[in-house]
Amino acid sequence: MSESTKDSVLAAVLIALGAGALVVLAHTRSGGTNVADVVGFATLPRLYASLLIGLGGLLAATSLVKRLREARGQSAVHRIRSPLADPTVLVRTFGSIVLLVLYVLGLQQFAFFPVTAIFLAVMFFLYGRGPIWRVVLVAVIGAAALDVVFIRIIDLPLH
């Protein structure tokens, strides 16, 4: 996906976000604010949402201009390789957030120590750490230390 296409997508998201905010505000009831107030509960949020729509439009326009210039070969741009073009980086980046989601879900159901040890070990493998014995050792010791500090001493009520 080219840069200008990504900017166009972002612009569309911003416009949708702004429009959605305006729709939600239109259906929001006031909480008893003095109707004589010039700036009510929805004034500034509406202003921000409208600005967001305008800025999204501006971003769409600039990305369109950029795309037209690129098509005509007029733009002098410095192209560098996206880090996400590397499959390993792609897997690590998205894998991190997926594993984090699974970790949080796991914490809600199971005890801290085993969930954290497994999370750390899998993350180390994802990041290409090795050898296996070192990964397991660091994961177990790390999880144990965190368990002692946050569960035994600080007493975080994770369950």
Partner 1 sequence: MINGLLSGFAGCLEPYNLLMLFGGTALGLVVGALPGLSSPMAIIVLLPLTYSFAPLPALLSMMGVYVGTKLGGSFSAILLRTPGTPAGACTALDGYPMTLRGEAGLALGYSTVGATIGGLFGWLIAVTCVPLVSAIAMKSSNADIALVGVLGLVMVTAFIRASMLRGIIGVVLGLLIATVGLDPIGGAERFTFGHYQLLSGIPFAAVMVGLFGVAVVMTDAPMIGTVSELLTSEVKLRLPGLRDLASRWQAILIGALYGVGIGAVPGIGAEASPWMAYGTVRSRSKHPELFGTGVPEGVLAPEASASGTTGGTMVPMLTLGIPGDSSTAIMLGALILHGVIPGVTLMRDHGDVVWGILAGLLIATIFMFLIAWKTIPWFVRILANDRGWLFPFVLVLATLGAFASSGDYFPVWVAVAFGAIGWIFEARGIPVVTVVLGVILGPIIEQNTRIGLALAQNHWSTFVATWPRLGLVACILGLVAWEIWRSVFRPVVRPVIATSTVEGGTL
CA dist., res. 22 & res. 16, Å (int): 10
Site string for partner 1, 8-37 (x = CB under 8 A): --x---x--x---x--xx--xxxxxxx-xx
How deeply is 42 buried, as exposed, middle or buried, from its count of CB atoms within 10 A (0-12, 13-18, 19+)?
middle
What is the Cα–Cα distance from 144 to 124, expressed in whole angstroms?
A: 16
We find the least distance from the C-beta atom of residue 157 to partner 1, in angstroms, to be 6
User: Residues 57, 67, 69, 107: which binds partner 1 (CB under 8 A)?
Assistant: 107
Verify binding: residue 42, partner 1, rule CB under 8 A. yes
Contacts to partner 1 from residues 49-78, by CB under 8 A: 49, 51-52, 55, 58-59, 62, 76-78
Q: Which of residues 74-103 bind partner 1 (CB under 8 A)?
A: 76-86, 89, 92-93, 96-97, 100-101, 103
- Joined tokens for residue 59: 């971003």
Closest CA to 109 of 158, 63, 146: 158
